[in-house]
Structure 1
Amino acid sequence: MSSVVLLVAVLFFLLLLRARRRRRECEPPLIQGWIPYIGMGLDFRLDSQAFLKKNQEKYGDVFTVYIAGKYMTFIMNPLLYPSIMKHGRQLDFHEFTDQMAPVAFGYPAVGSGRFPDMGDQIQRSFRLLQGDNLVPLAESMMANLNLVLRQDFLGGEGGATEAVGKGWSTGGLYDFCSSVMFEATFLTLYGMPAPARRHGDMAALRRHFTKFDGMFPLLVGRVPIWLLGRTKAVRETLIRYFLPQRMQRWANTSLFIARRSAVLEQYDALSDTDKAAHHFAMLWASVGNTVPATFWALYYLISQQEALQAVRQELHRVLQLPEAQGPQQSEVMISKEQLDQLFLMDSAVNESLRLSSASMNIRAAQEDFSLRLDERRAVAVRKGDVIALYPQTMHMDPEIFTDPQTYVYDRFIEDGREKTDFFKDGQKLKYYRMPFGSGSSMCPGRFFAVNEIKQFLCLLLLYLDLEMEEGQGTAQLDNSRAGLGILLPAKDLRFRYRIR
Structure 2
Amino acid sequence: MTWILVLVAIGLLSAVLLLRTRRTRQKNEPPLDKGIFPWLGHALEFGKDAAKFLTKMKDKHGDIFTVCVAGNYVTVLLDSNCYDAVLTDTKSFDLTRYSQLLMDRIFNLHLPNHDPVSERKRVNQYFNSSNLSRLCSTMRNNLQFLIASADTQNPTEWKKDTLFDFCYSLLFKAGYQTMFSTENDNTAKFTDVYEEFRRFDKILPKLARRAAARDELKFASSARKRLWELLSPNCFLTGSVTQSWMQTYLQHLKEQGLDTETQRRAMLLQLWVTQGNAGPAAFWLLGFLLTHPEALKAVKAELCSLQHLPLDKTEDTPVLNSVLKETLRLRAAALITRDVMQDKTIKLSNGQEFVLRKGDRLCIFPFLSPQMDPQIHHEPEKFKFDRFLNSDETMFCKEGLQMKYGTMPWGAGSNLCPGRDFAVCALKQVVHMILTQFDLELCDCNASMPPVDANRYGFGMLQPDGDLKVRYKLKKHN
Q: TM-score, normalised by structure 1?
A: 0.85
* Paired position in structure 2 for 1:150: 148
* Paired position in structure 2 for 1:55: 57
Question: Per-residue CA shift, 1:211-231, capped at 9, x if unaligned?
Answer: 111121122224589771232
* CA distance in 2 between partners of 1:125 and 1:86 (Å): 18
Question: Per-residue CA shift, 1:222-278, capped at 9, x if unaligned?
Answer: 45897712322221211222212121159686443332122112132x111211221
1:192 deviates by 3.9
Residue number among 232, 252, 274 corresponding to 1:286 in the alignment = 274
Question: Per-residue CA shift, 1:333-359, capped at 9, x if unaligned?
Answer: 544135563222111111111111221
* CA distance in 1 between partners of 2:244 and 2:175 (Å): 14
Residue number among 332, 351, 358 corresponding to 1:383 in the alignment = 358
* Paired position in structure 2 for 1:446: 420
* Paired position in structure 2 for 1:430: 404
* Paired position in structure 1 for 2:74: 72
* CA distance in 1 between partners of 2:448 and 2:15 (Å): 48
* Paired position in structure 1 for 2:162: 172
Residue number among 222, 245, 260 corresponding to 1:233 in the alignment = 222
Map 1:199-218 to 2 at 5 A: 199-218=187-206
* CA distance in 1 between partners of 2:57 and 2:15 (Å): 26
Change (3 A) 1:252 1:451: farther
Task: State the SS of the aligned residue for 2:460.
Answer: strand
Deviates further, 462-471 or 287-296: 462-471
Question: Per-residue CA shift, 1:135-188, capped at 9, x if unaligned?
Answer: 000000000001111102x32278xxxxxxx83211100000011111000000
Letter in 2 for 1:29: P
Task: State the SS of the aligned residue for 1:496.
Answer: strand
Contact preservation (8 Å) 2:97, 2:339: yes
* Paired position in structure 1 for 2:118: 120
Residue number among 388, 398, 403 corresponding to 1:412 in the alignment = 388
Map 1:368-379 to 2 at 5 A: 368-373=343-348, 376-379=351-354
Map 1:261-276 to 2 at 5 A: 261-268=250-257, 270-276=258-264
Map 1:78-477 to 2 at 5 A: 78-85=80-87, 87-111=89-113, 120=118, 123-152=121-150, 154-156=151-153, 167-194=157-184, 198-222=186-210, 228-249=217-238, 254-268=243-257, 270-317=258-305, 319=306, 334-338=309-313, 341-373=316-348, 376-394=351-369, 395-414=371-390, 418=392, 420-470=394-444, 472-477=447-452
* Paired position in structure 2 for 1:162: none
1:118 deviates by 9.1
* CA distance in 2 between partners of 1:137 and 1:211 (Å): 28
* CA distance in 1 between partners of 2:356 and 2:395 (Å): 32
Percent identity among equivalent residues? 29
Change (3 A) 1:338 1:392: closer
1:77 deviates by 2.7
* CA distance in 1 between partners of 2:7 and 2:160 (Å): 57
Change (3 A) 1:230 1:87: same
Change (3 A) 1:375 1:398: closer
Q: TM-score, normalised by structure 2?
A: 0.89
Change (3 A) 1:51 1:189: same
Task: State the SS of the aligned residue for 2:138.
Answer: helix
1:119 deviates by 6.5
Change (3 A) 1:69 1:223: farther
Runs of 5+ in structure 2 lacking a partner?
none
- RMSD, aligned CA: 2.9
